[in-house]
């Protein structure tokens, strides 16, 4: 398998079609399926993997990454909620698991590159650097989730679906008789399937609910919450405090175990701080105009990004934004290119 491309095969239609496309291009390809410990039996059983292998005409190797996934992704997820933040596990999984330990295993098996079913593009430049760009399907673009990949990781990454739309992928799968193990679309938190986040954190991660006060932005008590891990900034449901308008979560005070709520007009922010930025396109030396995306289901908006040190920035939005949430990723774009991405920090 020396010089091969390893394709991460999850069992879904995107990775299945990616593997098919790579094989059609006469690449030396093999599949690699990694176990997180949170799959449904149909997705992790040997018979299912064998069925995928027969469909594709490719060998598929299963790799057990349960321990690494638990310590690097699930524990991060739990710790973020304990710190009053809202985590984004895909932003951690891609650089540390898929293009981290999984690629290390693929390289041990002889692969020089790792392909995934992400809707994104990588472009090599003449100076030896790599650009990460949006996928052409705006509704499925996943460049946001890849914004923490390093130059070294982008150099060995392959995204066959970057120029495809989801509709084209489904049509090709039907035409070629490619049958995924699961029809379920990939989701932000793949390890939580049959429970709410709060139930998972209580049942699996051992977080014990600690009731406390709900206060408004003036500091007046308006109710009682049943555990801060049940809330995130911007949330409306589950507050259950009568008022002249609907309350939204505007802050989480871990130190005093208080949930801070306010009306919708109190949820907006003109700016935010971003920390631990992975600058794909190089560290900017002066403030720059960029479009900033503050969560996956958010359209990137015009802003001014002022660098602070090597990996920090202050972002000032051209127009105030709602639900700027500590712990979520802030990703910077110029056109289709991803300039970098970091973590929204609490003010």
Query: Which residues are the active-site residues?
Result: 93, 190
What is the rounded distance in angstroms from the CA atom of residue 161 to the CA atom of residue 168? 10
Neighbours of 160 (CB within 10 A): 24
As given in the structure block, the two tokens for residue 208 are 């014990």
With H, G, I as helix, E, B as strand and everything else as coil, classify residue 259: strand
What is the rounded distance in angstroms from the CA atom of residue 232 to the CA atom of residue 87? 10
User: Whole-angstrom distance between the N-terminal and C-terminal Cα of the chain?
Assistant: 50
Q: What does the H/E/C string look like for 66-126? A: HHHHHHHHHHHHHHHHHCCCCCCHHHHHHHHHHHHHHHHHHHHCCEEEEECCCCEEEEECC
Contact residues for 92 (Cβ-Cβ < 8 A; gap 6+): 72, 73, 76, 148
What is the rounded distance in angstroms from the CA atom of residue 285 to the CA atom of residue 327? 25
Answer yes or no: are the C-beta atoms of 60 and 1 closer than 8 Å: no
Answer yes or no: are the C-beta atoms of 169 and 13 closer than 8 Å: yes
Phi (first) and psi of residue 91, to 5 degrees: -65, -20
With H, G, I as helix, E, B as strand and everything else as coil, classify residue 265: helix
What is the rounded distance in angstroms from the CA atom of residue 64 to the CA atom of residue 48? 16
For the chain, the C-alpha Rg in angstroms (whole number) is 21
Phi (first) and psi of residue 49, to 5 degrees: -65, -40
């Amino acid at each position: 398998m020396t010089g091969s491309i390893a394709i991460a095969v999850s069992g879904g239609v995107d990775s299945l079609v990616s593997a098919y496309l790579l094989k059609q291009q006469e690449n030396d390809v093999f599949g690699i399926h990694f176990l997180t410990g949170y799959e449904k039996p149909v997705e992790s059983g040997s018979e299912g993997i064998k069925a995928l292998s027969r469909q594709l005409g490719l060998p598929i190797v299963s790799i057990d990454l349960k321990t690494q996934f638990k310590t690097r992704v699930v524990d991060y997820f739990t710790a973020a909620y304990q710190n009053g933040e809202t985590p984004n596990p895909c932003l951690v999984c891609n650089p540390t698991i898929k293009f981290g330990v999984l690629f290390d295993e693929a390289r041990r098996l002889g692969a020089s590159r790792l392909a995934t079913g992400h809707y994104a593009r990588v472009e090599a430049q003449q100076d030896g650097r790599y650009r990460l760009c949006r996928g052409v399907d705006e509704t499925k673009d996943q460049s946001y989730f890849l914004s923490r990949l390093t130059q070294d990781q982008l150099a060995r990454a392959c995204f066959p679906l970057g120029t495809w739309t989801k509709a084209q992928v489904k049509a090709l799968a039907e035409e070629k008789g490619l049958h995924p193990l699961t029809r379920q679309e990939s989701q932000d938190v793949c390890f939580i399937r049959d429970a709410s986040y709060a139930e998972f954190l209580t049942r699996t991660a051992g977080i014990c609910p600690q009731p406390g006060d709900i206060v408004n932005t003036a500091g007046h008590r308006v109710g009682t919450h049943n555990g801060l891990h049940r809330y995130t900034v911007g949330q409306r449901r589950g507050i259950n405090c009568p008022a002249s308008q609907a309350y939204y979560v505007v802050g989480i005070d871990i130190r005093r175990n208080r949930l801070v709520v306010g009306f919708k007009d109190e949820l907006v922010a003109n700016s935010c701080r971003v920390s631990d930025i992975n600058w794909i396109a190089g560290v900017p030396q002066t403030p720059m105009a960029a479009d900033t995306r503050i969560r996956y289901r958010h359209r990137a908006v015009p802003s001014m990004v002022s660098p602070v040190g090597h990996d920090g920035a202050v972002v000032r939005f051209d127009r105030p934004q709602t639900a700027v949430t500590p712990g979520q990723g802030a990703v910077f774009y110029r056109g289709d290119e991803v300039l970098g991405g970091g973590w929204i920090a609490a003010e």
